[in-house]
Amino acid sequence: RRGGLVRREGRKLTAAAGLGAYWRALRALQDDAAPPAGLRLAQALTRALEHDGGAIDVDMPIGDKVLPFGRRTVIMGILNVTPDSFSDGGRYFRKEDAVTRGRELASQGADVIDVGGESTRPGALPVDATEEAARVLPVVEALAGTVAAPISVDTYRADVAARALAAGAHFINDISALR
């Protein structure tokens, strides 16, 4: 119900979408160490949430696509492009396997395809941004424009996020809530 909210005022669009993490993001943006622009963003998001927070049927536009929050459960297909994935044991580590699986997830009805290049399972070793980008960008590029579902990229790194969006991802799924 509070997973994704959008408010339009003329040409201005204010959106909050963290699927459970945006309240932490707002608190982080209001922190004394946050940049002034972060505080302004947090204030704008808070106003939008206060205005629209009780809405049941709220659409979240993502480029030319829309996620229908509230009317039904939105399904996110998880596509881990890691050799040590907790959910699939690394079955989709190779680009070709990942692209095939992404297309399968979309054809099976996933509303979002979430591509991740770093395992967050307990005990997993972190990878650097270069390795993470090398894993996810080719998959995003291959899926972009070929599946109906929006593509998200699971990353907490700003440089990987920017490159993923440039490669065709529609949004970022940041487990750190923008920290």
- DSSP characters for 2-34? -SEEEEEETTEEEEEE-TT-HHHHHHHHTSTTS
Residue 62: the pLDDT is 79
Which DSSP symbol is given to 72?
B
Which of 97-101, 130-134, 144-148 has the lowest average pLDDT? 144-148
List helix spans (H) across 30-81.
36-52
What's the chain's average pLDDT? 79
Inter-residue contact 109 to 135 (CB < 8 Å): no
Q: What percent of the chain has pLDDT over 90?
A: 42
At 141, phi and psi to the nearest 5?
-60, -40
Whether 177 contacts 18, CB under 8 Å: yes
Q: Rounded distance, CA 46 to CA 50, Å?
A: 6
3-class SS letters over 117-140: CCCCCCCCCCCCHHHHHHHHHHHH
As a whole number of angstroms, the distance between CA 87 and CA 48 comes to 36
**Pair 81, 117: CB distance under 8 Å:** yes
Which contiguous run of DSSP H or E holds residue 152? strand 151-154
As a whole number of angstroms, the distance between CA 48 and CA 60 comes to 13
Residue 52: the pLDDT is 55
> What is residue 1's predicted lDDT score, i.e. its pLDDT?
33
pLDDT reading at 173 higher than 60: yes
**Contact status, residue 152 vs residue 113, Cβ threshold 8 Å:** yes
pLDDT digits (tens, 9 = 90+) for 59-95: 777 777 777 766 677 889 999 999 887 777 788 889 9
CA distances from 65 to 59, 127, 138 (A): 10, 31, 22
Q: Say which residues have a Cβ less than 8 Å from residue 126's Cβ, sequence separation at least 6.
A: 118
